[in-house]
Amino acid sequence: MKKRIIISTVLIGSLMTGGLAMAKSYGPGYDNRNSKGQKMMTEEQHQQRSENRLERMTIILDLDKSQQKQIKELSDQHWQERESVRDEMREGRDERHSAMRNGEIDEAAIRANLAKRAGLKADRIVEREQMKKKLYALLTVEQQEKAEKIWETRVNDRNGQHGKGFGF
């Protein structure tokens, strides 16, 4: 009788521990409503991240004050231009999630939604390369060479995936 109670207690304890582990949040910015665990970045978070990136770039590439100002303006302009696309992608994600949650799956709607998202992702990649081109135009030849080495290293470290922030 005691063995059954002990086994039952251990089993229930293990299940509860596993359940608590699954319910644990996974660090800063984690949000259960989003499968990637990301929240939308606020303007303040963008500013902080932008300042940190600019500081690293200044140290690594030895940027002068004029370059720092131009890069900050370029980053802020790009952030503002992407606002509508971020909203559109978020709305599409919400539509797709609701289409998959209700009992009936509207395959055509999901495929259309995913095709639109793929187009937005392709646009984002093109915009990132255009941003990189504008950024490199602000740098000297030596700074461009140094930045390109860092960029290539970062891309290789991510198994061929594009890094954010041009390696900085």
- Work out the angle at residue 19's Cα, subtended by the Cα atoms of residues 17 and 25, and round it to the nearest 5 degrees: 105
45 or 109: which leads in pLDDT:
45
How confident is the model over 110-166, as pLDDT tens digits? 888 888 888 988 988 998 899 989 999 999 999 999 988 888 887 666 555 544 555
How confident is the model over 48-60, as pLDDT tens digits? 988 999 999 999 9
62 or 99: which leads in pLDDT:
62
Widest pairwise Cα distance in the chain: 80
Name the pLDDT band for 35 (thresholds 50, 70, 90). very low
Residues 51, 45: Cα–Cα separation, whole Å: 10
